[in-house]
Amino acid sequence: MSDDGECKGLNAVAPGKKDIFVQLVISFALGISAFTAFCILRPRWKTLYAARKRHSNPQIALPVLPDSFLGWIPALYRVTEEQVLASAGLDAFVFLSFFKMSLRLFTTMLFFSVTVLWPIHRAFDDSYPDLISRPPDNSSVYSNSLFSNRYLDESSLFTAKHKDKLDDKNSSYLWSYLVFTWFFSFLTLYFMNTETFKVVQIRQDYLGTQSTITDRTFRLTGIPKDLRTEEKIKGFVENLEIGHVRSVNLCRNWAEIDELMAQRRNILHKLEEAWSAYRSQKSMAARATIRQSVVNDEDEREDAHEERMDENSQLIAGNSLRGLMSERERPKIRLRFGFLKMRNRKIDALDYYEEQLRRLDDKIQIARKKDYAPTDTAFVTMDSIAACQMAVQATVDPRPGQLLAKPAPSPSDVIWKNTYTPRYRRRFRSGLVTIFITSLTILWFFPVAILASLLSICTIKQVAPSLGESLQRHEVTKALVQTGLPTLVVSLLNVLVPYLYDYLSNIQGFISQGDVELSVISKNFFFVFFNIFVVYAVSGSAALAEFWAIIRESLSDTNKIALKIAQSIQSLSNFYLNFIMLQGFGLFPFKLLQFGSVSLYPFYRMGAKTPRDFAQLVQPTLFNYGFYLPTALLIFILCLVYSVLPGSELMLLLGVCYFGLGYFVYKYQLLYSMDQPQHATGRAWPIICRRIILGLVSFQVVMLALLVLRQAFFEAAFIAPLILLTVWYNYSFNLRFVPLTKFIALRSIKRDSDPGRQSNPDQNGEQSMRLTRRMSTIDEDKEKGMSFINPSLIAPLEQPWIYQDPPPPLSPSESTSADYLSRYEDQLEHRNTTVSTSSSLSLGDTHVWRASGDNV
């Protein structure tokens, strides 16, 4: 075959068997190396791999994992769901439940695929895999044209040429496609329905038996101007006769004080950096003087006749050290002033920042006493959970958009600056973000296509003919370039997008961090589903131009899009196999290793200057569900789509491995190494279920298109009712289950007067859950002493963190930080004197330096 033929159509694109083997080797090599590194480093770096704070109650605390190489795996496996709930909360429980459900579902599908579908495909379906889904070996998924017009014409000619041969074969096996499409669809709905009942029951029991300020508070929005006082809101709510109001916190325009607090944090950080520079300079000077004193002392001891001179030298050394410390240079800062800031001068940085901090403290104290203009939002705390739930589940006011009662987020989750941002401004920002994300999702395909095409053998031949010929002769290196690298490029580029979407969601105007996280899940899933599945499934290509060309052609002839989907899906199976292998075997161990945190730690360590910076280095890494859940949902959909096609046993086997490994990796991270501060109360489950239903519809549409392509119109007609049934189930799911994932049923709320509450389990069992839930939950522990008040109004003003130990809180008598800073300077001078007058100090006395805080 000529080079021109190799660079067109299927000859240039779809990976073959050798490519899959190479991808498997690459994935295992990456995964085993990362897993081995994790098992070695885990007992040595416990500040990273066991950083998460566990529940304080010893009866529900997580077990300590053994430090042996693999001994932690059985101990992690034995951690129960009740311990997950008690230690990590509802969000972690829901996340892990999705992986467990997927593992059970695809294990069941794999059994039927191996025992029933695989023999059918081998016996009857041997021509079409060679025609469509078995492209030539030694090729890659990425090129500018997968199903070019030339290839489609050749494929049509080939089909017509061999039509008689195909007609001779028994096509009754296509009924198995229809039967298993129905069977796997109902099996998926059954597993999802069963898991939903379990999640809803545990969520209701979990939230109904705890008592936090969040459970008793609702957010009232759309408050008219004549009701915007705490007293009027309290009277209005109590007149509804749903319960007594314990407190009302009306949101106001706190932009001024929030800005002052932001300025204070900035000045505080600069002051701490100045102190660190000052003390570091002092420490180096002191050590240099002491070292010189020791050297002189050793030289003088060689002369037995100069003992008195030796004693005098020690005294002189002590006096010189004290004098050096008293005369050390304090850090300076250059201030610009005058016309156009053309004049400047250097002043003492410590004095300048201390004065700035003192002035800001005075302004903050005054600002905290001001009255601010009220907004249309308030947090109303009731005396009982039942009263709060009656408010949020009822229509309070007959006027549209006014006095809307919504569940309140956790106090620590509230984004206070968005509570006083006008609604029209938040909606405007939300619209702009939506337009930007939609455009980015489409335009992002261009860099992926360009990078992927650059890694094709055809492109390499054009740029470097000798290198291309060398790669062409070696099957392994060719497969590595055309299969392993493009898949890795797609995976790495997709890792960057969630960070951007997280930033955009934060500026979109959500009231709570939990809402931001749910938004990131939706945005990121839309991105990966569109770029990795929809575009490929329609065009079978990494070229966006071809995607739009096919869409235009399909508008005139709807049969073309069915033909494209059927051909593309089968030919892209190897690419998706490579993608799942890399995500599961290759990248999951790197997630367990927290490769990003490990690789970036030296840079963070070099950039850390203050004790506060060093304290941040040992904080648990944050776990963001929006970064991990969308990819898992996409792989779930891919396993569904290929569950009936030839080669389904391999796809389902990889799906079982992916969700099994993912369950253990994320279970370890959520329980031991990473923290998840958001409080979404399991609201991600409806998002998961809707994406599963979307995957079911995609699976059914693909099977319908395949049957139409093979002219099995009668079998295809029976799939259409299944699509309608799945859409109806989605509507039913929203009616039946979604309210139970947003609210707490009144009957689920447990009261002290309930008979048998302390001794008997509920009707559905869950005795072990009840034993755990008698104690405080993780949410109750987090919300102790919290209230729905802007922290800028009540939070103690943080003082400079200068020494190793964190600074004590500001006492009531110290209304500003002036006395506090003065006391800190006195402590510093006292410690300097202690160091300088210590006659027995030597270079080996590291405990003295640690006591003085100089090892920071």
Q: What is the pLDDT of residues 27-39, one digit of tens each?
A: 899 999 999 999 9
Q: Please count the other Cβ atoms lying within 10 Å of the Cβ belonging to residue 217.
A: 27
Residues 741 and 738: their CA atoms lie apart, in Å, by 5
pLDDT bracket for residue 9 (50, 70, 90): very low
CA 260 to chain centre: 31
Which helix (H) or strand (E) element contains residue 69? none
pLDDT band, very low/low/confident/very high, at 675 (cuts 50, 70, 90) = confident
pLDDT interval class at 328 (50, 70, 90): low
- Least confident segment among 179-193, 215-229, 323-337, 404-418: 323-337
pLDDT band at residue 687, thresholds of 50, 70 and 90? very high
> In this predicted structure, what is the pLDDT of residue 635?
95
Closest to 773 measured CA to CA, from 747, 748, 795, 746: 748
Distance from C-alpha of 295 to C-alpha of 193, rounded to nearest angstrom: 79
Residue 479 CB coordination number (10 Å): 26
Please report, as a single letter, which amino acid is at residue 813: S
Instruction: Quote the DSSP letter at residue 58.
Output: T
Phi-psi region of 805 (alpha: psi -120 to 50; beta: other; left: phi over 0): beta
Which residues make beta-bridge pairs with 220? 378, 405
Query: CA torsion, points 13, 14, 17, 19, in degrees to nearest 10?
Result: 50
Q: Where are the domains positioned within the chain?
A: 3-35+84-209+440-598+624-740, 217-254+372-408, 257-369+796-852
Structure confidence at residue 461 as a pLDDT band (50, 70, 90): confident
Burial call 332-347: b when 16+ CB within 10 Å, e when fewer: eeeeeeeeeeeeeeee
pLDDT band for 552, please (50, 70, 90 cuts): low
Give the DSSP letter of residue 305. Answer: G
Among 387-391, 446-450, 515-519, 709-713, where is mean pLDDT lowest?
Answer: 446-450
- Average pLDDT for residues 125-145, to the nearest whole number? 40
pLDDT in tens, 787-821: 899 999 998 888 888 887 888 766 544 544 444 44
Number of H helices, E strands in the chain: 42, 8
Is residue 446 predicted with pLDDT exceeding 90? no
Cβ contact 88:666 at 8 Å:
no
Predicted confidence at residue 339, as pLDDT, reads 81
**pLDDT > 70: what percent of the chain?**
71
One-letter amino acid of 474: H
User: d(Cα 190, Cα 706) in Å, to the nearest integer?
Assistant: 25
Task: Judge whether residue 147 has pLDDT over 50.
Answer: no
What the block records as the tokens of 816 is 């500003």
Task: For residues 267 and 611, give the distance between their C-alpha atoms in angstroms, rounded to a whole number.
Answer: 16
DSSP state of 409: P
Residue 1: what pLDDT?
Answer: 41
3-class DSSP assignment, residue 381: strand
Measured distance CA(424)–CA(151) in Å, rounded: 52
Q: Are 375 and 252 in contact (CB under 8 A)?
A: yes
Question: pLDDT tens digits, residue range 529-541?
Answer: 888 887 776 655 5
Cβ proximity of 814 and 714 under 8 Å: no
Poorest-confidence range of 58-62, 370-374, 599-603, 825-829? 825-829
Element (H, E) at 345: strand 343-348
The pairing of beta strand 332-337 with beta strand 343-348: antiparallel
Per CATH, domain 217-254+372-408 is 3.30.70.330: yes
pLDDT value at residue 775 = 55
Residue 186 in contact with residue 179, Cβ under 8 Å? no
Cα–Cα distance for residue pair 115/649, rounded to 1 Å? 10
Give per-residue burial for 744-766: e unless 16+ CB within 10 Å, then b. beeebbbeeeeeeeeeeebeeeb
